[in-house]
Amino acid sequence: MSVTASIPFRLPNDHWRPLEIVFWLLPVIAYFIFPDYLVLASQILIVGLFAVTLDLILGYAGIISLGQAAFFGVGAYTAGLLAVHGWGEPLTGLLAAAVGAGIVGFLTSFLVVRGQDLTRLMVTLGIGLMLFEAANKAAFVTGGVDGLSGVVMWKVLGLFDFDINGRTAFWYTLMVVFTLFVIARRIVNSPFGLSLRGIREGPRRMPAIGSPVPRRLIAIFTVSAAMAGVAGGLLAQTTQFVGIDSLGFPRSAELLIIVVLGGVGRLYGAMIGAAVFMIAKDYLSGQNPVYWQFWIGILLIVVVLFGRGGIMGRAEALWARLRRRA
């Protein structure tokens, strides 16, 4: 009985299963069916990507992190500051965000590769909190608590302006998220990805088969940080604003909840968790907020005690049972 239970063992391959194609057609269909909800859709995609980055280190490498928002925020501020200071080209902005967050991730990774779970939790938490304070202190650069405004974006590919209906933002976000998801998927379904799972399940055994554990962890941590930075950059560019809450602890904590609810160790779980969570929050935010917190708490307790692998886990179990019957 665990949130990470029963990840079915499949040898890595790169075949695209039909359900995956259906999944990626959904946003395209949504564009035509829900033209008034494009901004929400874009933000769901961004959070989905962000959740994937956490799943990479949590579900595959086993690092419990309460500080993933640090990299998201660094990416957001990098892209935002670039635009504020005159360079508003979107794609290169994202590249800069990835590099910035990747560097911070790389430097941080050395602190995270050793130590037990509690230590790593505290270190990631501490780093997130320190970066938050630093961003607040450097308010003359970041805008502090008031946020960074004046982010003016140029046209995407020189052709498409960011319009008020959110159309350009939507397609831009979808393309970027899809690309990065494909990369993440490739990483996970590769021998490297398999070694990560090995590290999560038996960190002491891996060196015995010659696998360099710290190096692998540093690698995946850096990649995850860089991707989180791109997610942050996307948010900065599509909302033309960077709030200090991009770095904050609530964002990291909420992300952890999303990944767990969606299903740890499954990339699609992270995306589905993000979608369900954000839609539910948007819908319920009008209702009594105390109930929201209460029910999320109960849901978490129930998922941990009884759920196997979150939404995706349950869905896969159901699918397996149906297939057995057929």
Partner 1 sequence: MTSVLGVLFDGVTYGCLLFVMSIGLSVTMGLMNFINLAHGAFAMVGGYVCVVAMTRMGLPFLATLPIAFAASAVLGVILERALYQRLYRAPHLDQVMFSIGLVFVAIAGATYFFGPSQQPVVLPSFLRGQVQVLGVDLGAYRLFLIALVTMITAALHFLLVGTRFGAQVRASVDNATAAAGMGIDVNLVFAVTFALGSGLAGLGGGLGIDVLGLDPTFPLKYMVYFLLVVAVGGAGTIKGALVAAIVLGVFDVAGKYYVPQIGAFFIYFLMVVLLLLFPAGLFGRRT
Partner 2 sequence: MKKILLAALGCLLVALPAWAQETIKVGIVAPFSGPFAEYGKQFDAGVKAYQKLNGTTVAGRKVEVIIRDTGGPSAEVAKRLAQELVVRDKVDFLAGFGLTPEALAVADIATQAKKPMVVFNAATSVITTKSPYIARTSMTLPQISAPMGVWAAKNGIKKVYTLVADYGPGIDAETAFRKAFTAGGGQVVDSVRTPLSNPEFAPFVQRIKDAKPDAVFVFVPAGEQGIAFMKSFSERGLAQAGIKVIATGDITDDHVLNAMGDSALGMITTFHYSAAHESPENAAFLKAYNEVAPNAGRANFMAVGAYDGMGAIYEVIRKLDGKIDADKAMEVLKGYKAVSPRGPIMIDPETRDIVQTIYVRKVERKGNELWNVEFDKFENMKDPGKQP
- Whole-number Å distance between alpha carbons of 109 and 214: 9
Closest to partner 2 by CB, 80 or 313: 80
DSSP letters spanning 286-317: TS-HHHHHHHHHHHHHHHHHT-SSHHHHHHHH
Closest to partner 2 by CB, 108 or 239: 239
User: Is residue 144 at the binding interface for partner 2, with CB under 8 A as the rule?
Assistant: yes
Closest to partner 2 by CB, 144 or 214: 144
Closest to partner 1 by CB, 115 or 207: 115
**Residue 315 interacts with which of partner 2, partner 1, none, CB < 5 to 8 Å by class:** none
User: Is residue 235 at the binding interface for partner 2, with CB under 8 A as the rule?
Assistant: yes
84 and 150 in contact (C-beta within 8 Å)?
yes
User: Is residue 241 at the binding interface for partner 2, with CB under 8 A as the rule?
Assistant: yes
Whole-number minimum distance, CB 2 to partner 1, in Å?
Answer: 5
- Whole-number Å distance between alpha carbons of 288 and 291: 6
Whole-number minimum distance, CB 63 to partner 1, in Å?
Answer: 10
Closest to partner 1 by CB, 235 or 270: 270
**Residue 243 interacts with which of partner 2, partner 1, none, CB < 5 to 8 Å by class:** partner 2
- Cα–Cα distances in Å, from 161 out to 23, 44, 88, 150, 192? 27, 21, 12, 16, 39
**Residue 2 interacts with which of partner 2, partner 1, none, CB < 5 to 8 Å by class:** partner 1
According to DSSP, the residues that pair with 121 across neighbouring strands are: none
Q: Is 153 exposed, middle or buried (0-12, 13-18, 19+ CB in 10 A)?
A: buried
Q: Tokens standing for 90?
A: 């979107």
CB-based contacts of 70, cutoff 8 Å, min separation 6: 104, 108, 124, 127, 128, 131, 247, 252
- Phi/psi for 292 (5° steps) reads -55, -50
- Picking from 193, 249, 266, the residue whose alpha carbon sits closest to that of residue 3 is 266
Whole-number minimum distance, CB 161 to partner 1, in Å?
Answer: 41
> By the criterion CB under 8 A, which residues form the site for partner 1?
1-4, 58, 64, 111, 114-119, 121-123, 125-127, 129-130, 133-134, 137, 253, 256-257, 260, 264, 290-291, 293-294, 296-301, 303-305
**Residue 146 interacts with which of partner 1, partner 2, none, CB < 5 to 8 Å by class:** partner 2
Whole-number minimum distance, CB 269 to partner 1, in Å?
Answer: 14
Q: What is the DSSP letter of 45?
A: H
Q: Rule CB under 8 A: which residues touch partner 2? A: 36-37, 39-40, 43, 133, 136-137, 139, 143-147, 149, 164-166, 235, 239-245, 250, 281, 285-286, 289, 292
